[in-house]
Amino acid sequence: MRPVTLFFILFFALFASSASFAKTLFINIGTGGITGVYYPTGALITKILNRSQGTLVMKAVVEPTSGAVFNINAILGGHLLFGLAQSDRQYQAVTGTADWLKRGPQKNLRSVFSLYPEIVTLVAAADSEIKTISDLRGKKVNIGPLGSGYRQNSLDALTLAGLDPLTDLTTFDQRVDRANKMLQHGDIDAFFYTVGHPNNSSNKASSGSRKVNFVAIPTTDTFFTDKPYYEKAVIPIAHYPAATNTSDVESFAVKAGLVTSAKVSEEIVYAVTKAIFENFDYFKNYHPAYSGLSKKEMIKDNEAPLHPGALLYYRESGLLP
Ligand code: GLU
């Protein structure tokens, strides 16, 4: 064989093997509005995936969306591979309740891991004299758009306070960044948002020229018996020194988590899970809303069944038996 022929054979053998070796996966992740915590979380996940090295090359992009309900539906419809979603919305999709009542149980929704608590947050203009949630009667209040996770939390909080969202107040269904502006311009009196703390939206809301206060949402035992996906929580007011509150604000919370579809391959979900867990310290230090994060906790509070790809990593790493 002539040396030049040998060179070509070797060249193609190497080229062909490295081409099949470095498989590229394209991944998109649905988040929320850019002032929330979902968007920076999605951006962080893509950053970790894009630089992780292994037999798979991942090309990940982050998508801003209207929130959890949009993300779950886009995943089930095959438009997104991954998305962030509130635990209560995962539960409702899986059981076919709330927004999924007509379509029935969404059997293909899968959890990858849970993240941080998201607290139902009610921000009111201090000059609108809303001291308690009952003071929302007769007011203009943003409850969030249809695709958001928090819209249902707003409705649950109003009902819990004995207010009928249809008749006792005027509701708006804007996205939170718009609601923030409307509050500052005097177009609304208050708005709801279910989000990790601290976050840019609450920072902005509390440092505008129109002063605001965070309003407590007192809960009852039966509320938690009826809605087991909620738990008590407190917004640490130290995060927002410009708000007029002088103490922490009681409310209730859900948990943010990464979800996907049963139709997404085990290989992809395994690679994503592994990349995040193997960069856990880097991940945790990225945002103050992750302060309580631990690997053990991330495997809990996943309301949709765990995806087999995630399960494989948890078993392999000894996090699950
Ligand atoms: N929990 C919100 C929702 O699902 C989004 C919060 C965020 O973007 O951080 O609508």
Residue 227 and residue 149 in one domain? yes
Confidence of residue 55 (pLDDT cuts 50, 70, 90): confident
Written as six digits, the tokens of 62 are: 């982050």
Residue 172 and residue 99 in one domain? no
Residue 160 and residue 281 in one domain? no
pLDDT at 14: 47
Question: What total of structural domains would you count in the chain?
Answer: 2
Burial 51-72 (b: 16+ CB within 10 A, else e): ebeeebebebebbbbbbbbbbb
Residue 321 within any structural domain of the chain: no
Q: Is the pLDDT assigned to residue 19 strictly greater than 80?
A: no
The verdict on whether omega for the bond into residue 236 sits within 30 degrees of 0, i.e. cis, is no
Tell me the pLDDT tens digit for each residue of 125-146: 999 999 999 999 999 999 999 9
For 221-269, strand residue ranges (E) read: 231-235, 249-261
Beta bridge partners, 306, equal 111
| CA–centroid distance, residue 250 to ligand 1 (Å) | 19
Residue 270 within any structural domain of the chain: yes
Residue 165 and residue 239 in one domain? yes
Residue 45 and residue 166 in one domain? no
Q: d(Cα 27, Cα 29) in Å, to the nearest integer?
A: 7
Residue 27 within any structural domain of the chain: yes
Residue 145 and residue 185 in one domain? yes
Residue 268 within any structural domain of the chain: yes
Say how many Å lie between the first and final Cα of the chain, rounded.
56
Q: d(Cα 275, Cα 54) in Å, to the nearest integer?
A: 10
pLDDT at 13: 46
pTM for this prediction: 0.93
Query: What 3-state class would DSSP assign to 147?
Result: coil
Residue 171 within any structural domain of the chain: yes
Confidence of residue 6 (pLDDT cuts 50, 70, 90): low
The CA distances from residue 165 to 43, 110, 181, in Å, are: 35, 32, 22
Residue having the nearest C-alpha atom to atom 6 of ligand 1? 195
Residue 69 and residue 197 in one domain? no
Residue 174 and residue 272 in one domain? no
**β-pair type (23-30, 82-86):** parallel
Q: Is the pLDDT assigned to residue 23 strictly greater than 90?
A: no
Domain boundary among 254, 269, 290: 254
Domain extent, residue 169, equals: 118-254
The CA distances from residue 88 to 114, 193, 297, 302, in Å, are: 12, 14, 17, 10
| CA–centroid distance, residue 291 to ligand 1 (Å) | 18
Residue 41 and residue 122 in one domain? no
CB of 36 closer than 6 angstroms to any ligand 1 atom: yes
Q: What are phi and psi of 192, to 5 degrees?
A: -100, 150
For residue 40, count CB atoms less than 10 angstroms from its CB and return exposed for 0-12, middle for 13-18, buried for 19 or more.
Answer: buried
Residue 242 and residue 133 in one domain? yes
CB of 118 closer than 6 angstroms to any ligand 1 atom: yes
Residue 122 and residue 237 in one domain? yes
Tell me the pLDDT tens digit for each residue of 239-291: 999 999 999 999 999 999 999 999 999 999 999 999 999 999 999 999 999 99
Angle, CA 147 vertex, CA 39 and CA 287 arms, to 5° = 20
Percent of the chain topping pLDDT 70: 93
Q: What CATH code is carried by the domain that includes residue 83?
A: 3.40.190.10
CB of 67 closer than 6 angstroms to any ligand 1 atom: yes
What is the 3-state composition of the chain as percent helix, strand, coil, each rounded to the nearest 5?
Answer: 40, 25, 35
Q: What is the mean pLDDT of residues 235-242?
A: 97
| CA–centroid distance, residue 154 to ligand 1 (Å) | 13
The best mutation among 114, 116, 148, 258 to test binding of ligand 1, ranked by most ligand atoms within 8 Å of the C-beta, falls on 148
Burial 167-181 (b: 16+ CB within 10 A, else e): ebbebbbbbbebbbe
Domain boundary among 219, 254, 289: 254
Q: Is the dihedral of CA 307, 309, 312, 313 positive or negative?
A: negative
Domain boundary among 237, 254, 271: 254
Residue 225 and residue 279 in one domain? no
pLDDT at 155: 98
